[in-house]
Structures are given as structure tokens and as C-alpha cells.
């Protein structure tokens, strides 16, 4: 059975600077918005990242909260500016791909996040065999259903997959299902490579 490698996006393949977005929105609104401008870990973010509300509904709610008018193009542009490539993740991804292993993305994100990445690097999502995004699947890591949906689509056993994510709770959820998994960081790259070697032996 072929070994499959599943990569998270945020802080694995791409990094993002939330403070930059806070600064840009503060500039647009003329006031500090850090305390009431929630880009992560809020009910609205969860809703848009699981497809429960549209990106436009999310943006409308955000604008109402922070008291500034933003278009969808501006929101995407803010995220384009905030995203940068993660060199360590890219190197590992390319190594595994060049070795002939199927590589995939599994990420919690909204459409506007995905679109920002695509606009920055048009071929980014063409590098992987399959892409699994929470806003399309309707579930959010560490909910086991998002992993199960990916495994079912790939028609593979959990033990034939190696999953990498920067959040320990997401890694543990993958392990609980029987996946091989590592918590990703650039500092941990040598240990991850060793775990990958053992997985593919």
C-alpha cells in the first residue's frame, strides 16, 4: 500500500501575520481594533470555515463589529499581504513529492483564505494530489469527521497516512484515528524526517 502524506496549511506550508491585518484594518478604521476584531477562534470564524455561513456574511458581520467597510476584494488582499511561504514545510513537501509519495492538504480555512493563497501563488494547490478544506467538508479539525472524510475519499487506511499539523490537538485527533502524525515546526524538522523515514521503511 502506498504511503500518503497529509499536510496542514497554516504554520506548516504557509505562515500568516495577524498583527499585519490588525494594523491595516486599524489604518482603514482610524482606531485600534485588536480588542474587538476577531480573526481566529470565534464563532463567526468557525462558521465561515465550516461553510455554515458565506464569506460575504462573515465579512458583513466583521464590518459591523469593527465599524469599517471592507469589500471582499480588500479582505482577500489583506490576507494576501499577511501570508508568506513556510520554507521548512515547502522543503519537506517537495522532498516527499519528489520521492513519489502522494501528498495532500487538509486545512481549517475559509474560501477567502484559500483564494488569497491561490492569488499569491497560482500553482500552489496544483502541487498536491488532493485538497481537503473545512469550508467544503463542513467539519473543523480536530473533529474526527474531517479526517474520516479525507480518508474515505482517498480510500486508504489511517495507518497508511502520515499527518502533519502545528496544533497538538489536531495531531492527537489524527493519532486517535490510527494515523501516523507529528506536530510540525521548523525546529522539529530533523525529528519529523526521522519519523517519516520509519514510516516509509
pLDDT tens figures, 45-64? 999 999 999 999 999 988 88
Asked if residue 142 and residue 112 are part of one domain, the reply reads: yes
Residue-range definition of the domain harbouring residue 142: 4-15+84-200
Question: What integer is the mean pLDDT of 131-149?
Answer: 98
Number of domains in the chain: 2
Asked if residue 53 and residue 113 are part of one domain, the reply reads: no
- Residues sharing a CB contact under 8 Å with residue 97, sequence separation 6 or more, in sequence order: 103, 127
- Which residue in this structure is represented by grid cell 470565534? 42
Helix-strand-coil split of the chain, %, nearest 5: 55, 15, 30
State the pLDDT at residue 64. Answer: 84
Asked if residue 9 and residue 43 are part of one domain, the reply reads: no
Residue pair 112/55 in contact (Cβ under 8 Å)? The answer is yes
Question: What integer is the mean pLDDT of 177-197?
Answer: 94
Domain-ending residue, one of 59, 82, 105: 82
Asked if residue 132 and residue 42 are part of one domain, the reply reads: no
Does 196 score more than 80 pLDDT? Answer: yes
Helix (H, G, I), strand (E, B) or coil at 136: helix
Of 48, 93, 96, 104, the residue nearest 72 (C-alpha): 48
- The pTM is what? 0.94
| C-alpha torsion 164→167→172→178, nearest 10 | -20
Amino acid at each position: 500500500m502506498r504511503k500518503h502524506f497529509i499536510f496542514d496549511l497554516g504554520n506548516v506550508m504557509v505562515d500568516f501575520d495577524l498583527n499585519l491585518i490588525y494594523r491595516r484594518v486599524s489604518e482603514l478604521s482610524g482606531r485600534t481594533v485588536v480588542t474587538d476584531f476577531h480573526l481566529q477562534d470565534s464563532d463567526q470564524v468557525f462558521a465561515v470555515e465550516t461553510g455554515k455561513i458565506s464569506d460575504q456574511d462573515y465579512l458583513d458581520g466583521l464590518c459591523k463589529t469593527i465599524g469599517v467597510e471592507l469589500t471582499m476584494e480588500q479582505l482577500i488582499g489583506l490576507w494576501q499581504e499577511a501570508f508568506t511561504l513556510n520554507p521548512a514545510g515547502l522543503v519537506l513537501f517537495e522532498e516527499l513529492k519528489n520521492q513519489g509519495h502522494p501528498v495532500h492538504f487538509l486545512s481549517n480555512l475559509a474560501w477567502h483564505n484559500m483564494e488569497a493563497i491561490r492569488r499569491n501563488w497560482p500553482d500552489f494547490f496544483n502541487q498536491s494530489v488532493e485538497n481537503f478544506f473545512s469550508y467544503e467538508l463542513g467539519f473543523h479539525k480536530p473533529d474526527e469527521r474531517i479526517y474520516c472524510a479525507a480518508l474515505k475519499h482517498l480510500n486508504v487506511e489511517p495507518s497508511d497516512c502520515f499527518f502533519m499539523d502545528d496544533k497538538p490537538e489536531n495531531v492527537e485527533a489524527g493519532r486517535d484515528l490510527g494515523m501516523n502524525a507529528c506536530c510540525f515546526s521548523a525546529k522539529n524538522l530533523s525529528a519529523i524526517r526521522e519519523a517519516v523515514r520509519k514510516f516509509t521503511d
